[in-house]
Chain A
Amino acid sequence: MKITVTDVEYVARLARLELSKAETDLFAGQMDAILGYVEKLNELDTADIRPTSHAVPVENAFREDAVRPSIGVGAALANAPDRVESFYRVPKVIE
């Protein structure tokens, strides 16, 4: 299936990426080549094959529900691009 510029623009919106015209054109060609290549997986009949999400069995890891030290608000917010007191500040959402 041919990947079009429209497809790339749609996926970029989903991924919260803003692409220039040159990037959109470039990615359309490259994604088309790569997704064309991965079509080779359709040569394999996998109807009765179970999918593998992890090479090892992954189970929920529970720990005791107990109070323990944490890094604290100051350290947690130390990398914030913008903050007010104990909060991250972001542009206004509600008009």
Chain B
Amino acid sequence: MDIFELTIGQLANQLKAGTVSSVEATKAMLERIEAVEPRVGSFITVTPESALAEAEAADRRIAAGDAHMLTGVPLALKDIFLTEGIRTTCGSRILHNFIPPYSATAWERLRGCGSVLLGKLNQDEFAMGSSNESSAFGVTRNPWDITRIPGGSSGGSAAAIAARQATATLGTDTGGSIRQPSSHCGCVGLKPTYGRVSRYGVIAFASSLDQVGPITRDVTDCAIMLGAIAGHDPKDSTSINTPVPDYTAALTGDVKGLKIGLPKEYYIDGLDRDVQAAMDRAIETYRRLGAEFVEISLPHTDYAVATYYLIATAEASSNLARYDGVRFGHRSPQAAGLIDMMTKSRSEGFGAEVKRRIMLGTYALSSGYYDAYYVKAQKVRTLIMGDFTRAFEAVDAILTPVAPTPAFKIGEMVDDPLQMYLSDIFTIPVNLAGTCAMSVPAGFSASGLPIGLQLIGKPFGEETILRAGHAFEQATEWHTRKAEI
């Protein structure tokens, strides 16, 4: 098996046994990136020199007997994570020249484990999008079919895993941006409970919704990555101070007696036939493994997209006010005065999707509309959270599709933002409720496109969904299939 095919667990074993070095693994990955990148377009920045230096340091650490599972493992990060000394663009022209003076906590923790950074991955601009088409650095293509989108906004992170360009990656999830691209690219993607992973050093989109999480080849790797990045961070006031369990210990393979809810609002007419078939097979698999199913109701599901697009855009319009051309980022050279400089810098730096969302958010927060839109959405958010609280009184986890359809064609929804927004209908409620959820490969469409299932857990119930996802993975072979790219 080629080195770039190995999971974290497999590579860690080989590194420990000395049958492969981190330098060899890193070189193999860099060669793989070079070979497939022209077709996939996963990366914005590749960092071969620093990666090889980090790999050499990792080899020394392994030789000294001080290795973590992630020591010497080549990773890549969505370009939303600040990385000291390495350009960080967030997929935007306004940050095309930004070199951060410090790093995100999530990356600092992985670096502390001895991981190797291969580079920064493409994404929708400021994480706004479901298709990776809004990046200022070009479209990323789905390795399973390069005429299709990889999903967004962590599309580069998922495509890099599917194309075997990194052993594991990190993404962020504001309305499904880890789970939906993971589903479309045949990866495992976990959005942890809000507050489980520090957001310090992660460029803010919608601060009450954004959460950091891993995208990996399998559930075991996902548990390893989560264990490395989770935990309290005093630099993030929304980081929760609760102990981090050993997530790999949760992977017992046993789901006997696990109560899984099936929300009737998610299994609706109009759900793609292949997606429905994959869900039916998944339910049958879990039944065979001893899980019990309960029909539940999440009655405010139909209001989630509207709620999300008011709250997320309001928070985005506030967060993105910092891009004014004064302290960093693009500054327009042709401004007449201070306000004109700010206006021109923002207008030249932001793309259409970002402008549209800033406009929506500014409108929702403006005088006369604040209560009618923003506060109303916050109240409906309370109702949506209540739905989940009541559901979890009866079940241990919830099983749903990740997306209503497999990956769509590049350009198919570009001119219809509302339709694009509605494609996130199954993932958005989880962000509003702040709980955790994971996408696991669960089948393929008739045309060979991956389909994922979504396991939703209670707040801080990551162990339960990892256990359920792992059990499913052990009983199926969907996660072992490879994209021919």
Contact = CB atoms under 8 A, between A and B. Distances in A.
Contacts of A8: 359
Given A11-B359, A11-B363, A53 B378 contact: yes
B417 A52 contact: no
B310 A51 contact: no
A77 B328 CA distance: 8
B366 interface: yes
A29 B192 CA distance: 36
A73 to B, nearest CB: 11
Contacts of B305: 37
A65 interface: no
A48 to B, nearest CB: 9
Nearest to B307: A41
Interface stretch (B19-27, B218-226, B250-258, B344-352): B344-352
A22 to B, nearest CB: 11
A55 interface: yes
Contact of A35 (B329, B342, B360, B381): B360
B432 interface: yes
Interface in B324-357: 324-331, 335-344, 346-347, 350, 352, 355-356
B481 to A, nearest CB: 35
B382 A50 contact: yes
Interface in A49-87: 49-56, 58-61, 63, 71, 75-82
Interface in A11-55: 11-12, 14-19, 23, 27, 30-31, 33-35, 37-38, 40-44, 46, 49-55
B: interface residue count bin: 35 or more
Contacts of B194: 54-56
Interface residues of A, number: 53
Q: A-side binding surface: helix, strand, loop or mixed?
A: loop
B329 A81 contact: yes
Given A16-B346, A90-B341, A23 B352 contact: yes
Contact of A75 (B98, B101, B329, B344): B101
Q: B-side binding surface: helix, strand, loop or mixed?
A: helix
A51 B381 contact: yes
Contacts, number: 164
A91 B338 contact: yes
Contacts of B237: 58-61
A12 B366 CA distance: 12
B355 A23 contact: yes
B309 A38 contact: yes
Of the candidates A14, A15, A56, A58, the one having the most CB atoms from chain B within 10 angstroms of its own CB is: A15
Given A46-B380, A51-B379, A81 B317 contact: no
B42 interface: no
Given A14-B362, A15-B359, A31-B360, A53 B328 contact: no
Contact of B101 (A31, A49, A78): A78
Given A30-B356, A51-B382, A16 B375 contact: no
B358 interface: yes
A86 to B, nearest CB: 13
B421 interface: yes
A51 B385 contact: no
Given A79-B97, A90-B326, A46 B383 contact: yes
Contacts of B240: 56
Given A34-B421, A51-B375, A63-B234, A16 B327 contact: no
Contacts of B339: 16
Interface string B361-372: 011001000000
A41 B238 contact: no
A40 B379 contact: no
Given A11-B363, A16-B346, A33 B356 contact: no
Contact of B343 (A16, A34, A46, A76): A16
Contacts of B310: 38, 41
A41 B346 contact: no
Given A46-B383, A80-B327, 20 more contacts: A11-B359, A11-B366, A15-B358, A16-B343, A17-B358, A19-B347, A30-B417, A30-B418, A31-B363, A38-B306, A44-B380, A49-B379, A53-B378, A56-B194, A56-B238, A60-B237, A61-B234, A79-B101, A90-B338, A91-B338
The list of the 3 closest CB pairs from A to B, nearest first, reads A55-B434, A51-B378, A81-B331
Interface of A: 3, 7-8, 11-12, 14-19, 23, 27, 30-31, 33-35, 37-38, 40-44, 46, 49-56, 58-61, 63, 71, 75-82, 88, 90-93
